[in-house]
Amino acid sequence: MTREIATVSLSVAQDPGHGGPHSHYSIRRGPESYEVSVNISQFFPSTAERSFQPSVMTRRLHKDDTEVIDFFSRLAVEYRVFELEDRACPHAFLHPAFYKFRFTDGEEISHDFEYSVEAGRHHDETYRDLIAEFERFFEAKRIAREFYER
């Protein structure tokens, strides 16, 4: 039996030692439908950046409930996210990206796990594909482009 997913969030810190951005993706059940949002922030300057100003951008995405339920189903069935909790996570040191996943199941029990990438190299195809699935659903490239164009 597959567990039902009630909420999802992913926090990403990209190369934090060099002023990389922090992103937060989330889906919560609202009063009438699911609320899908992306938040990107950059609070520290990149190495050798001269004219830095901290910035934050939040975007609410318009996804209908069918899209969200399909996404939840792919996470539960294809990626088996509830089985990833106790899986070993490699440690990244060189230009790391840190991913923190949180899923709440139908019984409101939270399931958390972390994964890190070193210099853009994934050590696990399951996580690489899971991250790509999140990036597609949350339109990560388009939103990051908006953030940097500001």
Contacts of 138 (CB under 8 A, 6+ apart): 25, 36, 38, 61
pLDDT digits (tens, 9 = 90+) for 51-78: 666 788 899 999 999 999 999 999 999 9
The fold adopted by the segment(s) 5-149 is Mago nashi protein (3.30.1560)
Task: Give CA–CA dist 46/89, Å, rounded.
Answer: 27
pLDDT digits (tens, 9 = 90+) for 95-146: 888 999 999 988 888 999 988 888 888 878 888 999 999 999 999 989 988 8
44 vs 37: which has the higher pLDDT: 37
Query: Domain limits of the chain?
Result: 5-149
pLDDT at 68: 97
